[in-house]
Structure 1
Amino acid sequence: MSQTETLLRSETLAPPAFSAPGHATAEPGYSLIKRNGGTVPFDQSKIAVALTRAFLAVEGNKAAASRRVHEIVEGLTAEVFAALTRRAKDGRVFHIEDVQDQVELALMRGEHQKVARAYVLYREEHARARGAAKVPETVTAVLRMKLTDGALVPLDEARLATVIAEACDGLEGTASATILEETRRNLYDGISLDELALAPILAARTLVETEPNYAYVSARLLLDKLRREALSYVSGRPEQATQADMATRYADYFPDYLSTGIAAELIDPELQRFDIKRIAAAIKPERDTQFQYLGLQTLYDRYFLHVQRNVFELPQAFFMRVAMGLAVREIDREARAIEFYDLLSSFDFMASTPTLFNSGTLRPQLSSCFLTTVADDLDGIFKAVKDNALLAKYSGGLGNDWTPVRGLGAHIKGTNGESQGVVPFLKVANDTAIAVNQGGKRKGAVCAYLETWHVDIEEFLDLRKNTGDDRRRTHDMNTANWVPDLFMERVEAGGDWTLFSPDEAPDLHDLYGPAFKTAYEAYEAKAAAGGLKVHRTVKALDLWRKMLTMLFETGHPWITFKDPCNIRSPQQHVGVVHSSNLCTEITLNTNKDEVAVCNLGSINLLAHIGPNELDLVRLKRTVDVAMRMLDNVVDINFYTIPEARKSNLRHRPVGLGLMGFADALQAQGIAYASDAAVDFADISMEAISYFAISASTDLAEERGAYASFQGSLWSQGVLPIDSQELLAKTRSEINIDRSQRLDWETLRARVKTVGMRNSNTMAIAPTATISNICGVSQSIEPGYQNLYVKSNMSGDFTVVNAQLVRDLKARGLWDEVMISDLKYFDGSVGQIDRVPDDLKAIYATAFEMDARWLIDAASRRQKWIDQSQSLNLYLANPSGKALDQLYRSAWKAGLKTTYYLRSRSATHVEKSTLKGTDGKLNAVAVSAPVAAAPVVEAAPVRTALVMPALDGPACLIDDPDCEACQ
């Protein structure tokens, strides 16, 4: 027997011969499943024994007396136990193999490579020995399961096999036998119903990296768990059903579901006054099988209605509840509800998160975004803070215009004192956003905007820094620069820039274009003559460089452009756009009497790709129904403050956007970084724009034009494609495309004659969560990685680019080696030699392409959009020159706003070569002397590959704590 085998030999890690200080010999409430299926109390000290013997095997007997090894073992033991318990939220039972996986992983993470190698060899040696001896690995006795009342009954093996087989039905590349075998390995006598439901889900999840269809299998297995919970709660007795059973069960369940929700004061009783029999008959149970695991788990955790964590809402009931809530004021509301349900449940279109949360409930706050202007007095400032709290309570994202608040050192007439400036009040707004956390569903979130001429602009730039006086920092608030064209012209010319306090230059806030330039230069002359108390002159280029430096180092403030937002605004006749929103896609007027509101939803572009081209017939049908749904939100919405109600009913803006853009390109074999992709961005957005404007005109014909239509650009026949000419007239340099393909002249005439139902119609939101629900790429984002682990509030999920797998399979290239290569190269195919060049181009990731392609595609979309788009920019190797060129080009391309700057760290992620690894890995940016970089955690799944960290505390992709990404 080898020394290694002698020292490590043990069935349950090792006999209890050593106990690390601070560790009990047994952990109450936790159990261990042995390989023969039997269970024993979990004993943490045996982990310490196994680790100690592993070190002895490598370092010899002297290690036994080594304080260093003693401390290492103590730390590693705690790490292993923490990892196991972190994963045990759905149960308190560990399998012996899982424990050994975590020991192995802890050794590798601690960079004890030799010890880890000895441990790996030991495990492999014993696995071979067990196989040769044909040692039984499963329990031969009949297992029992524990019911909710504590009774033990024989485990229903036949049903377990049926549910797993049903989950794999019709999904190519999946094998129910593999899942069943892995599931049985994790069963034990007395297993609870919840643990029994979880076992096949976890088994299927580990296979996602090898075959993307296992994401659907995992979702279908989760459905079985959900059906048991929901049906049992609604009926008041234990109940379960297979997917096949639900073909008839849904119709009976739905009326009881409504009654349950109404009794719990979660569903509006008005929904019960619909023709329920007709509604229930329209439900399509087969659409439950469309979900991928990430999407369904997200709905299960955050969207489905529940009573004290007892979920009673099934997926199709959820979509029908939302649809009925949106149709509640329609004349034939059953027909409209069914029409809305068909659109939502097909994933052709998805409403925004607040609409999904609250439609059909007693508090139907369905709007996504609210924009406010803060007044320059204490009453106005604290009213704005209160308004933020009320608006955030029901899931609204906020954009605040703080420019009117006087700057540091400005005179306060009432007290004859000096102002402390805008920053202390921003701190109050920041803390309010954290305190009001949207009912525990997600943090409140707000973005503060300040114009570049404000005297406090330099302090504003520092708000997200991790150094300096913490009382003048807002670590949780998003910030954005509201940049006038004149500033960019001064940057281009290398000129001076003067900063003013708004109490001494009050009209600058409401001016833009040539009028702003005239007034601004007059104030400069007045300041030079000594006529202003508070002002300061800086080099425009120096301030621009600081803006870009802070954007890189802290992720904020974002860069947004005041003039194009106003010059191209259809509503310039009744007000001024003073800021964008939380996600920089909304551009609506605000003032002291009106809080702008926008209602969002997104088209799934991938679902509208026919045989290698855009299906315009299907797209028009989707847009027509979606615009009606969004318009209904205006009337149904629960308004928490009167200024929001007044504004929304007067102007009726909506924001129709899109998601799945990268998927749509890949489905057509188009590389994102190509002229063809830029053309597709143009073609697809023109079609959406045409159909959205046409649909709003149809609604105006049916319901009447919005109240402030007369005098708008719409009423003058100036459509978004035309308004870019207005911007071009004010710029000495602008790079915009003017091409068009559809019959705009006919539509233009109809808009002037009939009117528009909505002052604004389009805005492209980030769609991070609703794209997960639909199983497509976010918004207009390029592909992030082709294989990675995504973390959000619902957990950690393996994400594989299914279209890449399909194409690699077609060429005979999808195998274990390819999976390993994808992990090694951080989800990129660019460095894998055997991948053909055409596939490398199509599946290039965000950091592998020149950011100019993002700007070019966004510019083509912007010409068709009456609002804006949440445009993230990616730089693999950021530098001052690269940032300068990127943001100047965004301005020259006529963009209204930009969103996050995403950069990549110099180091990449920790990877494990272990099969079956089920632990969390950390990746930390260490590349630049910036503020503390965030830690990105990976998932408990086989891939052991996580998203690399980003430089600086900028928002992570799909950051679970960032409302902007939802």
Structure 2
Amino acid sequence: MLTMPVELPEPQLKPHTDIVLRKRYLHKSLDGATVETPRDLFWRVAASVAESERAYPASPYAPEPEQLAREFYDLMTSWKFLPNSPTLMNAGTDLGQLSACFVLPVGDSIEEIFDAVKYAAMIHKSGGGTGFSFSRLRPKDSRVGSTGGVASGPVSFLRIFNTATEQIKQGGTRRGANMGILRVDHPDIEDFIRAKEKEGEFNNFNLSVGLTEDFMQAVEKDEEYALRSPHSGKVVRRRRAREIFDLLVDKAWSSGDPGIVFLDRINRDNPTPDQGEIESTNPCGEQPLLPFEACNLGSINLSCFHVPGHEQDADPFEGGIDWEELRRVIRLAVRFLDNVIDASRFPLDRIAETVRRNRKIGLGVMGFADLLFLLGVPYDSPEGTALAERIMSFINAEGHAASAMLAEERGPFPAYETSVYARQGLGPYRNATVTTIAPTGTLSIIAGCSSGVEPLFALCFTRNILDGERLVEVNPHFEAALHRVNEATPELMESVARTGSIQQMDFLPASLRKVFVTAMDIDPVWHLRMQAAFQRHTDNAVSKTVNLPNSATREDIHAIYWMAYEEGCKGVTVYRDGCKNLQVLATGEGQQKMDGNAAPAEPVSTVRKRPDILQGFTQKVQTGLGAMYLTVNEVDGKPFEVFATIGKSGRSITAKAEAIGRLVSLALRSGVSVRDIVTQIKGIGGEHPVFRGKGLLLSIPDAIAWVLERRYLKDQPVSMLAPDLEEHRCHECGGELIFQEGCLICPQCGYSRCG
């Protein structure tokens, strides 16, 4: 690897960059100690990617890739551009797998199905996410000629993929994530649409129904359409299209799943149709890919290109954005992403062949909501969507120009001559696709900007820190605007943090409330219009969630789906606030009360008396706040009481540990099961998590849960017993997950259910 220059500056970290880098990206020794600094990380990535220049003698950087490495380093540490997470994690390492998105075929045989499971495990281990179409599998109860048995259908095999993913954590730093797609004309489509009716089912999958033009036209005309068996092509039965569409809408209203993708529209934009149809996308839906194809992604931080002082210009977009610097960054980012293809080691030779044949890259954006704040433009306005079109049109055009320049220098992608570009007399290009709007949940925390093309989820939120203190975190552009109108008080920040919004605060200027809108303030129609505006100038697709209030109706979702079809989107994901059926910590009587089935009588407390003599054990557990000694005394081999001691007496931490121990003891003596206790306290986040084995201990209560679970719940860990907790809580900081960019993410630490 290229030698790091002595004068290389340390990156100026954003407020939470260091935390996220330490948790996810900086390399660690076998005992969990961090052995890399942020400066080391970004040089490792820059140097590894720049080394690819040596393969191209015509490159101006071929003799001295050190110069390009420095440019790449400055590009990333100025937060103007960041590549996808696997590149940050794996560039310059023995693993060397740098792509985020993969699609694998699932054929209609046991051998092909389990090959796909195996290949997915290899990809997840290397840090990638996978998409599958299950549309080739014969429907359930159909005959299998080779055995004389009957097929179990796509949904049953989907369960196998989900279970396999549960056992594999991506490279130890990213969860396994999948997209499952089934064509709307598959005979098992109703079972697929209902697959997530039971909350916690298929929790490692995003699901989408692949809609066709024939189906949508049948919905529009209120006609029937044909369901065909994929292995024979025969019509199995016919269904009224509107009934299926209404079922889709109903399930999306209930839980947010499944989403929809428009397969015919995706394939109309397939640049290499001679290689087959595109059947699926990556986990968040923004990257349609051929079977055995992968793509690496990167995002430009638009908030870095604002030029202040032009808000009142006749055309604030022209003077208010540094277009020349944006052009420079686009061209450098395209070179970076093309180099990543050469620098990457792929988990399968078949994938390497397909990737290098088409050389797809996906350059996207983040920080768009911040740019709107800086320009004083509301997200939900014609001016907002006009800016989206203008800026993405510029990025797409400049990205393709950069790809054409690389084609002159290095040659076009090998499949160019049979591509649609050659037929249309376009190019030649180095890359079959150039632009994608991807999720940037973790990357945007590193860069200190808003996520992707989403509006902010909240203007303020509270973060729980050490010793029970709460820190109110405020969007810096919102805080600056409050200072300008002399309203930046701690009391106001606390009030905003409780709701996340300022729309009901009539004492604030109307102009401020108009610009600083959040995801839940915005009419769903504007979410969709913004997605469509970006889609019109994006080669691949756009990762975006249409957020709806809890009061939204099925008719609202029906309108959004239909508008997505009419506006040219390639897919859409909706999420109605609070639509999940289970309350996270409600069990037993608490759940009965929510269901309206509570018994009228008052509960009776029966606390067992403590025997004079008890036997037990004491275990030392290293927590982020020091060594904790947990004593567990038993009766008949079952826990009866616990005592937690940490640090010297008199400290507030010691008092809290003692209080938690007393409350757990009271619960045990009152007959509460170990399982229920662990379910309640496992995963509670703290400020100083530490590694323990293959996982993290997040806090004192999490450490107590860890001891109890290992001792008494070996065969049934709580993660298997409480899918509701798995679904709603951050596994790293214990914070509440939100649904954004097609995935459950944690806005506090950047954890993502989709990797």
For residues 575 and 797 of structure 1, the distance between their equivalents in structure 2, rounded to whole angstroms, comes to: 53
Aligned equivalent of 2:240: 539
| TM-score normalized by the length of structure 1 | 0.59
Q: Which residue of 2 aligns with 1:799?
A: 473
Question: Which of 540, 564, 575 is matched with 1:890 structurally?
Answer: 564
The aligned residue for residue 339 of structure 1 is 71
Are the counterparts in 1 of residues 45 and 92 from structure 2 also a CA contact under 8 Å?
yes
CA–CA distance in structure 1, aligned partners of residues 555 and 213 of structure 2? 20
For residue 47 of structure 2, give the secondary structure of its aligned residue in structure 1. Answer: helix
- Residue 819 to residue 488, structure 1, CA distance change in 2 (3 Å): same
Q: Which has the higher helix share?
A: 1
The 8 Å contact of residues 554 and 954 in structure 1, kept in 2 or not, is answered as no
**Structure 1's 950 and 779: CA in aligned 2 closer, same or farther, altered over 3 A?**
closer
CA distance in 2, matches of 1:553, 1:282: 56
2:545/2:739 contact within 8 Å kept? no
Specify every segment of 5 or more residues in structure 2 that has no aligned partner in the other structure, as ranges. Answer: 54-61, 311-319, 586-655, 661-680, 685-722
Q: Secondary structure at the match of 1:296?
A: helix
Q: Which has the higher contact order (CA 8 A, sep 6+)?
A: 2
Write the distance in 2 (CA, Å) between the matches of 1:898 and 1:695.
Answer: 30
Could you report, residue by residue, the CA deviation over 1:775-816 in whole angstroms, capped at 9, with x for unpaired residues?
101101111111114799xx9985311111101111111113
The residue matched to 1:780 in structure 2 has which SS? coil
Maintained 8 Å contact 2:731/2:751? no
Give the aligned partner of residue 176 of structure 2: 444
Secondary structure of 1:898's match? Answer: strand
Distance 1:846 1:381 in 2: 40
- Are residues 1:705 and 2:412 paired? yes
Q: Which residue of the other structure, out of 321, 339, 349, is the alignment partner of 2:81?
A: 349
Q: Which residue of 1 aligns with 2:448?
A: 775
Shift of 1:348: 0.5
Deviates more, 1:671-680 or 1:852-861: 852-861
How far 1:460 sits from its partner (Å)?
1.0
Give 1:614's aligned residue. Answer: 321
Matched, 1:464 2:196: yes
1:938 to partner: Cα distance: 12
Counterpart for residue 666 of structure 2: none
Give the Cα separation in 2 of the matches to 1:884 and 1:405: 29
- How far apart in 2 are the matches of 1:818 and 1:684? 34
Q: Distance in 1 between matches of 2:247 and 2:33?
A: 51
Residue 339 of structure 2 corresponds to residue 632 of structure 1: yes
Counterpart among 739, 744, 747 of residue 955 in structure 1: 744
C-alpha distance in structure 2 between counterparts of 1:948 and 1:398, whole Å: 22
Distance 1:567 1:493, change over 3 A: same
Question: SS where residue 283 of structure 2 aligns?
Answer: coil
Please show how residues 201-600 of structure 1 align to structure 2 within 5 Å.
Answer: 271=1, 274=2, 276=3, 279-285=4-10, 287=11, 289-292=12-15, 294-307=16-29, 308-330=31-53, 331=62, 332-466=64-198, 473-505=201-233, 527=235, 535-590=236-291, 595-600=292-297
Percentage of identical aligned residues? 28
Q: Contact 2:745–2:753 (CA<8 Å) still a contact in 1?
A: no
Sort the Cα spacing of 1:409 and 1:888 in 2 relative to 1 into closer, same or farther, 3 A. Answer: same
TM-score by length of 2: 0.74
Instruction: State the shift of 1:415 in Å.
Output: 1.2
Change (3 A) 1:962 1:382: farther
Question: Could you tell me how far 1:490 is from its partner in structure 2?
Answer: 1.1
Q: Deviation at 1:477?
A: 2.0
Distance in 2, Cα, partners of 1:624 & 1:695: 5
Question: C-alpha offsets along residues 611-660 of structure 1, whole Å, 9 cap, x if unaligned?
Answer: 34221111111111111111111111111111111100101000001101
Report if the CA contact (8 A) 2:730-2:737 is conserved: no
Tell me by how many angstroms 1:906 deviates.
Answer: 11
CA contact (8 A) 2:372 2:384 kept: yes
Preserved CA contact (<8 Å) 2:284 2:743: no
Aligned partner of residue 761 in structure 1, secondary structure? coil
Whether contact under 8 Å (1:767, 1:965) holds in the other structure is: no
Once residues 503 and 647 of structure 1 are traced to their aligned partners in structure 2, the CA distance between those partners, rounded to angstroms, is 25
Change (3 A) 1:938 1:955: closer
Cα offset, 1:965, TM superposition: 4.8
SS of the equivalent of 1:411 reads coil
- Whichever residue aligns with residue 345 of structure 2, its letter is F
Alignment check: 8 A CA contact 2:557 2:574 kept: no
- Matched position secondary structure for 1:799: strand
Do 2:548 and 2:576's aligned partners in 1 also have CA atoms closer than 8 Å?
yes
Following superposition, the deviation at residue 699 of structure 1 comes to: 0.5
Contact in 2 for aligned 1:559/1:898 (Cα 8 Å)? yes
Q: Once the two structures are superposed, what CA deviation does each residue of 1:53-105 show, in whole Å capped at 9, x if it has no partner?
A: xxxxxxxxxxxxxxxxxxxxxxxxxxxxxxxxxxxxxxxxxxxxxxxxxxxxx
The Cα shift of 1:343 comes to 0.5
Aligned amino acid, residue 889 of structure 1 = M
* Distance change in 2, residues 1:903/1:619 (3 Å): same
Q: Contact 2:284–2:439 at 8 Å: present in 1 too?
A: yes
C-alpha contact 1:422 1:456 (8 A) present in aligned 2: yes
Matched position secondary structure for 2:558: helix
Change (3 A) 1:883 1:653: same
Cα gap change, 1:950 to 1:686, in 2 (>3 Å):
closer
1:485–1:962 Cα change, 3 Å: farther
- Taking a change above 3 Å as real, the CA distance of residues 476 and 961 of structure 1, as seen in their structure-2 partners, is farther
> Alignment partner for residue 865 of structure 1, among 535, 538, 546?
538
Unaligned 5+ runs, structure 1: 1-270, 506-522, 528-534, 718-748, 911-917, 923-930
Q: Which secondary structure does the structure 2 equivalent of 1:497 belong to?
A: strand
**Structural mapping, 1:752-831, within 5 Å:** 752=427, 755-789=428-462, 798-824=472-498, 826-831=499-504
Cα shift at 1:485: 1.5
Deviations 1:235-275 (A, max 9, x none): xxxxxxxxxxxxxxxxxxxxxxxxxxxxxxxxxxxx1xx3x
Residue identity matched to 2:451: Q
Residue type of the alignment partner of 1:788: F
SS of the equivalent of 1:848 reads coil
Given that 2:255 and 2:579 are in contact with CA atoms closer than 8 Å, whether structure 1 keeps it comes out as: no
- Paired residue type of 1:600: L
Q: CA separation in 1, counterparts of 2:355 and 2:494? A: 53
Does the Cα contact within 8 Å between 1:353 and 1:368 map onto a contact in 2?
yes
Q: Which residue of 1 aligns with 2:577?
A: 903
Is the Cα–Cα contact under 8 Å of residues 129 and 176 in structure 2 kept in the other structure? yes
Are residues 797 and 402 of structure 1, via their aligned partners in 2, closer, same or farther at CA, if it must alter by over 3 Å? farther
CA 904–835 in structure 1, closer or farther in 2 if over 3 Å, else same? farther
Of residues 393, 417, 422, the one that matches 1:686 is 393
Paired position in structure 2 for 1:509: none
Residues 660 and 771, structure 1, Cα contact 8 Å, conserved in 2: yes
Higher-Rg structure is 1
Q: Residue 940 and residue 588 in structure 1: after superposition, are their counterparts in 2 closer, same or farther (change >3 A)?
A: closer
Counterpart contact for 1:434–1:445, Cα < 8 Å: no
Cα distance in 1 for partners of 2:215, 2:143 equals 26
1:418 alignment partner, SS class: coil
Per the TM alignment, residue 497 of structure 1 is displaced from its structure 2 partner at its CA by: 2.5
Q: Secondary structure at the match of 2:520?
A: helix
For the 8 Å contact 1:397–1:963, the answer to whether it is kept is no
Give the 3 Å change call, closer, same or farther, for CA 958–885 of structure 1 in structure 2: same
How many residues get paired? 598
- Give me the whole-angstrom Cα distance separating, in 2, the residues matched to 1:618 and 1:811: 32
Q: Secondary structure at the match of 1:410?
A: coil
1:949/1:962 Cα in 2 relative to 1: closer, same or farther (>3 Å)? Answer: closer
How does 1:129-140 map onto structure 2 within 5 Å? none
